[in-house]
Amino acid sequence: MHQTENLDDAYLGSGTLLKRALKKYGSQQFTKEVLFVFDTFDEMKAKEREIVDEAFVNRDDTYNLNVGGEGGWYRANQTYTAEQRKELSRMGAAAMAQMRVSDPDMSARLRAVSSQNGKLAVANGHLRHQDFTGKKHTETSKQKMRGSQAGKHVGVANVQSKLTESDVRAARAIWERGSPTVGAKALAVKYGVDESTMRDALSGKTWSNIK
């Protein structure tokens, strides 16, 4: 069981045996597949209880030590503040981005899984695209935007840019055009910049010093 706002947060599990296996073999030897997405923790807990029964735990090819529905992650997660959870998610995404750079084959597999998970979440109504179609900025908003950009540079020369070089490298490593989870819109939200800024960084229009 896992609760997240980022389907690509690199979480692979917290069980004792699984952690040992991850340390021994490396996380690149494992593939994560999202089986179900729920709106509430109780629904998630009930489904895990249904799947991870005593027979499942007793199998030789599983890592679970206890029957489902009472996983340790939920209780442990309550000890973290919102900022700590956000930072852990950021660190996980950065680690996954670095891993994808070093292993192109795994990167391709993860993009396929991430795309499939995103489509499933959208189809089930758990995730929706943020779309500005049909909307218009007010004149006041336009003036504010013009003022906020006045005299600024772009990319690496922009000392006020919210994106850092490591952000751009990490974003480019996981970017998948049109993906609801790792597309330009989603990455813009993740890194706290507007979509056009992210698109320029991803395409190389800005931050052209990064190859």
Tens of pLDDT, residues 15-43: 788 888 888 888 888 888 888 888 888 88
CA dihedral 45→51→53→59, nearest 10 degrees, is -130
pLDDT at residue 112, as a whole number:
72
What pLDDT is recorded for position 160? 43
What is the chain's mean pLDDT, rounded?
75
**How far is 167 from 211, CA to CA, in rounded Å?**
14
Inform me whether the pLDDT recorded for 206 exceeds 80.
yes
Please give the pLDDT value at position 44.
87
Distance in angstroms (rounded) separating the CA atoms of residues 209 and 204 = 8
Tell me the pLDDT tens digit for each residue of 81-93: 677 667 766 776 6
Per-domain residue ranges of the chain: 16-123, 139-203
Find out whether 179 and 118 touch, Cβ atoms under 8 Å.
Answer: yes
Q: How confident is the model at residue 95 (pLDDT cuts 50, 70, 90)?
A: low
Listed range (60-64, 131-135, 159-163) with the worst mean pLDDT? 131-135
Mean pLDDT of 172-199: 88
Chain centroid offset of residue 32 CA:
13
Q: pLDDT category, 6, cuts 50, 70, 90?
A: confident
Distance, CA of 74 to CA of 68 (rounded, Å): 12
Q: Are the beta carbons of 64 and 15 closer than 8 angstroms?
A: yes
pLDDT category, 202, cuts 50, 70, 90? very high
CA gap 85, 211 in Å, rounded: 31
Using alpha carbons, select from 141, 129, 22, 16 the residue that is nearest to residue 72. 16
DSSP-assigned letters across all residues of 17-81: HHHHHHHHH-GGG---------SSHHHHHHHHHHHS-HHHHTSTT----S-TT--HHHHHHTTS-
Confidence of residue 147 (pLDDT cuts 50, 70, 90): low
| Both tokens assigned to 88 | 């852990």
Q: What angle do CA 26, 31, 37 make, to 5 degrees?
A: 135
Least confident of 4-8, 148-152, 206-210: 148-152
Residue 133 has pLDDT above 70, yes or no: no
* pTM of the predicted model as reported, rounded to 2 decimal places: 0.35
Q: Supply the pLDDT for residue 79.
A: 55
